[in-house]
Amino acid sequence: MKKQMKLGLSMRYLGYHLGSWRHPEVQPDGTSDFRCFLDVVQTAERAKFDMVFLADGIGIRSNDEPRGSLARSRQNVELEPLTLLSALAPMTRSIGLVATASTTYNEPYHIARKYGSLDQISSGRAGWNVVTSWSDQEAWNFNRSKHLSYETRYERAEEFVDVVTGLWDSWDQDAFVHDKEAGIFYDESKLHVLGHAGKHFSVRGPLSVRRSPQGRPILVQAGTSEVGQRIAAQHCDAIFAAKHDLHDARSYYSSVKSRMPAFGRRPEDLVIMVGLTTVVGRTRQEAKAKHEQLEGLIDPLVGLSLLYRSFGDLSDLPLDGPVPEPLAGHGGLQSSARLYYDLAIKNGWTIRQLYTKIGMAQEHKTVVGTAGDVVDEMEAWVDAGAADGFNVTPTHLPHGIDDFVEFVVPELRRRGRFRHEYEGLTLRENLGLRVPTSRYAEKSAVA
Ligand SMILES: Cc1cc2nc3c(=O)[nH]c(=O)nc-3n(C[C@H](O)[C@H](O)[C@H](O)COP(=O)(O)O)c2cc1C
């Protein structure tokens, strides 16, 4: 039996390519246009994708470095993810709706309540991508002059997730009896008050939202550090990983999954989805031509701004010269800086080649070719134990998803790798994941 793949669509900024807004087929103001998102989500749902995914940062993450780059970039205005997904929920039936939210600039009660509500509105299709944020620009919007240290953010994140999942267990599934005759709204024995008092948070609870139709919204994580992997192994249902190299992806996959038994979880309780950008054509020549058109759209200033956070200002260096070491003591996106540098060294790329390659799909794996080429690669990764599925990170939308659905999905189905129909009603069911047990049920079972 061939392993089935899970598929997500990551749709922030309507595409990952740095110059996507300049593509002749792209609506440049689409990131603020609800109808553009509705169009791509409905396409993904027709193709039976597991979920759509919205990455997020809470602010414009640029100091306009190098000067002039921001005015040439598409990374400025957008719609707030939970608001957007709440609007998309009643316009869809089966596809999962996953939004990013920060543990650094929220309170756990807010997050538990908002995602709990999206889960009710969508009948069990909500998911939370847990991030800690990483830029000073976000800190400036939340009463701080600098973002918190890496260690503090992750320490806070671990406690935050514990509180949120505790709040989601406030009510047992069958707590609401609604007995009109006896006048009983809920069964008192099925309400649990969290009473959390920790280093970062003091939260009494209970949550004012009933238990999720899927037990709780799914939890997603993206970091690859030691703490990031631990949080994923302990709590998460899915990982969105940025990996280019099959061997690296395989060791990451087994590293995360091997940590799970220590937390009483099975490796199959977590789905690892690797970011995948495809440029597909009916022939390889057609795909190559599409790729070359995209490569020509990146303005050098925008390209250098992509590298700024990892390498500092490279504008004085020759664009066709070698890539220097990443900045020392870099506390933000550690895994990204290392990934960029390793790629440049391994492939002998110049600065221009690095930003052109990375700018195609940020840090995600890219395949340019026919549907057969793309599916060969996807199968190789899944069969090697490097991924359970892919989060498609299109260069530009809607065409990136249109092409994937027209060419790649039928080929996946022909090879018996992807569903024809949704298996279940909730996101958790479609991902093939167990409904988590309430922490209070576990306690009473032990008692
Ligand atoms: C594929 C991927 C997607 C991410 N998406 C977001 C995001 O939407 N918002 C955010 O603030 N951070 C995002 N991050 C950053 C991570 O949450 C994390 O902070 C970062 O990778 C540094 O942690 P690490 O050293 O554990 O990798 C993403 C990272 C990766 C690899």
pLDDT interval class at 121 (50, 70, 90): very high
Answer for the pair 40, 14: CB distance below 8 angstroms, yes or no.
yes
- pLDDT band at residue 444, thresholds of 50, 70 and 90? low
- Whole-number Å distance, alpha carbon 38 to ligand 1 midpoint, is 25
CA 91 / ligand 1 centre spacing (Å): 29
List pLDDT tens digits, range 366-409. Answer: 999 999 999 999 999 999 999 999 999 999 999 999 999 999 99
The CATH classification of domain 6-291+365-446, taken from the options 3.90.1150.10, 1.10.760.10, 3.20.20.30, 3.30.565.10: 3.20.20.30
152 is written with which tokens? 């503090």
Cβ of 242 below 6 Å from ligand 1: yes
Going by alpha carbons, the residue nearest to atom 13 of ligand 1 is 131
Say if ligand 1 is within 6 A of residue 310 CB: no
Q: Which residues have a Cβ under 8 Å from the Cβ of 122 and sit 6 or more positions away?
A: 85, 89, 92, 97
The answer to whether the CB of 251 falls within 8 A of the CB of 129 is no
Phi/psi class of residue 352: alpha, beta or left (left: φ > 0; alpha: ψ in -120 to 50)?
alpha
In order of 128, 319, 427, the CA distances from 237 in angstroms are 10, 42, 11
Distance (Å, whole) CA 239 – CA 220: 5
Instruction: Please report which helix (H) or strand (E) contains residue 368, including its range.
Output: strand 365-369
**Ligand 1, closest atom to CA 130?**
17
Choice among 28-32, 157-161, 310-314, 422-426 with the minimum mean pLDDT: 310-314
Q: Is the pLDDT of residue 284 over 60?
A: yes
CA–CA gap between residue 125 and residue 38 (Å, rounded):
16
Q: Quick check: CB of 70 below 6 Å from ligand 1?
A: no
Q: Which helix or strand (DSSP H or E) is residue 132 part of?
A: none
Pairing of strands 218-221, 126-131: parallel
CA distance 290 to 280: 8
Per-residue pLDDT band for 328 (boundaries 50, 70, 90) equals confident
* Percent of the chain surpassing pLDDT 90: 89
Q: What is the pTM of this model?
A: 0.95
Q: Closest Cα to atom 18, ligand 1: which residue?
A: 223
User: Which residue among 134, 158, 236, 358 is best mutated to probe the pocket of ligand 1, counting the most ligand atoms within 8 A of its Cβ?
Assistant: 134
Find out whether the beta carbon of 333 lies less than 6 Å from any atom of ligand 1.
Answer: yes
**Segments making up each domain of the chain, as ranges:** 6-291+365-446
- pLDDT-derived band of residue 329, with 50, 70 and 90 as boundaries? low
The DSSP call for residue 322 is B
What residues contact residue 136 under an 8 Å CB cut-off, 6+ apart? 145, 146, 147
> What's the rounded mean pLDDT across residues 52-66?
94
For ligand 1, what atom is nearest to the CA of residue 225?
26
- Report the atom number in ligand 1 closest to the C-alpha of 138: 11
CB of 30 shorter than 6 A to ligand 1 = no
Q: How far is the CA of 135 from the centre of ligand 1 (A)?
A: 11
The pLDDT of residue 405:
98
Q: Pick from 10, 53, 4: which is nearest to 365 by CA? A: 10
Q: How far is the CA of 39 from the centre of ligand 1 (A)?
A: 27
Instruction: Please give the C-alpha separations between residue 223 and each of 9, 252, 336, 401, 426, in angstroms, as whole numbers.
Output: 18, 11, 10, 25, 25
Residue 234 CA, ligand 1 centroid: distance in Å: 18
57 C-beta closer than 6 A to ligand 1: yes
Q: What is the mean pLDDT of residues 304-313?
A: 91
Distance 243 CA to ligand 1 centre (A): 13
Cα 291 → chain centroid: 24
Tens of pLDDT, residue by residue over 128-151, are 999 999 889 999 999 999 999 999
> What stretch of H or E contains 419?
none
Residue 362 has pLDDT above 90, yes or no: no
For residues 49 and 391, what is the distance between their CA atoms, to the nearest angstrom? 10
Q: What share of the chain is helix, strand, coil (3-state, %, to 5)?
A: 45, 15, 40
Angle at which helix 246-258 crosses helix 226-235, to 10 degrees, equals 60
Mean pLDDT of the chain: 95
Confidence class of residue 447 from pLDDT cuts 50, 70 and 90? very low
Q: How far apart are CA 390 and CA 388, in angstroms?
A: 7
Distance 441 CA to ligand 1 centre (A): 33
Cα torsion angle, 63, 244, 240, 49, sign: positive
Cα dihedral sign for 137, 138, 140, 146? negative
Evaluate: CB of 279 within 6 angstroms of ligand 1: no
DSSP H/E element including 225: none
Please work out whether the CB of residue 275 comes within 6 Å of at least one atom of ligand 1.
Answer: yes
Residue 406: CB atoms within 10 Å: 14
